[in-house]
Amino acid sequence: MSVEFTRLGRRLRGRLSGFTLLELIVAITILALISMLLYGAFSGLRTTRDGVGEVSGRYHEGRSAMQRIARELQGAFLSFNRPIDQSLITRETLFKASRGSPADRVDFTAFAHRRLDRNAHESDQCELSYFGSQDPKQRGVTDLVRRESAVIDLEPDRGGRVQVLATDIDLFQLEYLDPFTGRWTEQWDSSQAIGQSNRLPYMVHITLVLNGGQRAAKGRAKRTIKFDTKVMIPIQAPLDFAGLGALQR
């Protein structure tokens, strides 16, 4: 009897002493599959979080750009105040817009300058431009830029400081409502003797479409983001403090 119990105890101890090679392989395989599933889940969550953050950032960028453009267009103005002797003219106000692809261009004078230095000899008048510019670091990417010059001169499309307002745009389109005809037009030029001479559009229709960022980095949002608004220009009549406009007309 004791011999049989001894043999039985040895067999039990042999079975409980460890795992077989097959059991180890199965356990490792199951563990690897669980690890892969967990990694895929966390990777998907991180990708989703980054994508949501990217889209949110693009919406903020677009809204900020639209608000600034709308606010500054509302400050657009023209002026008849110039010397009687035309040879003494050193500044010229205007509103000039042209069609472009993928971005239109507009150059105008406005009450939109902010003095950053208390002692600066500057007013709130300035030259402003909005247009598309190729990104020097990324081929095929167009940015929406803003040019501002605190000095109004005879070259309304040059000088001043240029800054990027919105990156990687798909479209920047402007349309102008003519108060005389009641129709929308794609171009405007207040400096010409015919057409829109010394006149501002009554309203500007602004359309800005941003790419989701797919050109800047892999894995970002693929869809475009569109912003659209209409802005009325309140100062329709050119400023004429000296009555020179009546003489010129």
Q: What pLDDT is stored for residue 8 in this prediction? A: 55
How far is it, in rounded angstroms, from Cα 246 to Cα 249? 5
Q: What pLDDT is stored for residue 189 in this prediction? A: 94
Q: What pLDDT is stored for residue 214 in this prediction? A: 45
How far is it, in rounded angstroms, from Cα 200 to Cα 97? 11
Secondary element (H or E) of residue 241: none
Q: What pLDDT is stored for residue 155 in this prediction? A: 87
Secondary element (H or E) of residue 59: helix 21-73
Mapped onto helix, strand or coil, the DSSP state of residue 49 is helix
Q: What pLDDT is stored for residue 243 in this prediction? A: 52
Placement of tokens 């239109």 in the chain: 104
Query: Residue ranges of the chain with pLDDT lower than 50?
Result: 214-221, 244-249
How far is it, in rounded angstroms, from Cα 78 to Cα 92? 9
Positive or negative: CA dihedral 127, 133, 137, 141 = positive
How far is it, in rounded angstroms, from Cα 107 to Cα 188? 10
pLDDT tens for 76-97 read 999 987 767 666 677 889 999 9
What residues contact residue 224 under an 8 Å CB cut-off, 6+ apart? Answer: 170, 209, 210, 211, 212
Closest CA to 172 of 102, 229, 232: 102
Secondary element (H or E) of residue 20: none
How far is it, in rounded angstroms, from Cα 232 to Cα 73? 8
Q: How many CB atoms lie within 10 A of CB 201?
A: 25
Q: How many CB atoms lie within 10 A of CB 184?
A: 13
